[in-house]
Amino acid sequence: MPRNPDVDPRPFVLEGGRVGCLLVHGFTGSPAEMRLLGEYLHESGLTVSAPLLAGHGKEPEDLNRVTWHDWMASAEKALEALRARCDIIFVGGLSMGSLVAVHLAARHADLAGIILYSPGLKAANKLLYLAPIVRHFVRQWPGDPEEETDLLDPEAPGRLWHYETVPTNGAYELLKMQRVTRRVLPQVQIPAIIFYSTQDATLDSASPRLTLEGLGSQDKELVILHKSGHCMTVDCEREAIFARTLGFITAHGGA
């Protein structure tokens, strides 16, 4: 079962101008976590697309039937559709979605820039590293209890749709994607901005630094926050994050 079943997990497209932004959600999550950001960018004239990655948005067991290549295929399909509408395209990703954004940037050098929110290069939960073994015995393990959220805005958890359990084969695919992404980072040459909060309980604190140092981009920046949890796009500092995102887009040809 999902947490917050009344929240809409479906993909969305907001029609705007010829500047577009692809927004990619995180592991076990949904486009709902990118909805407020998408609406903010759309109000500024952008066309926004937030796809639903394979294995997400329905039942947790679905994530045990896909690979990280399927997540990339979902994003590639959405990017191709966005190209039909837009001349300039940026890609933003949250957590695992940031890994998808990195791979898209490595494959498509004509993208105008990438925005990485809570970059999911390295997890704090060491249980993830047992996934290659555990997946043979356990199909799913419990997610974090709702009361243990790192989100500081009390209304923030209610803005999210995500699975209550963690599919173990899906976790193994995430682990593989993290390892491949480390090798892909130097291939990214386009502008990049990274957002990370010191309150993030999901990521290893080294994750943003490893991401920043690994990127091959000459134009790259790390923004450190202190009042947001992992899903920062729905938390206390979201308005400042949204404004900084739009500033990055404007500064790199997306006026």
Catalytic residues: 95, 200, 230
Beta bridge partners of 22: 49, 91
Q: How far apart are CA 236 and CA 49, in angstroms?
A: 24
**Residue 197 neighbours by CB under 8 Å, 6+ apart:** 118, 224, 225, 226, 227, 228, 229, 230, 232, 235, 237
Q: Using the CB atoms, write b or e for 75-87: b if 16+ within 10 Å.
A: bbebbeebeebbe
Residue with tokens 């497209």: 13
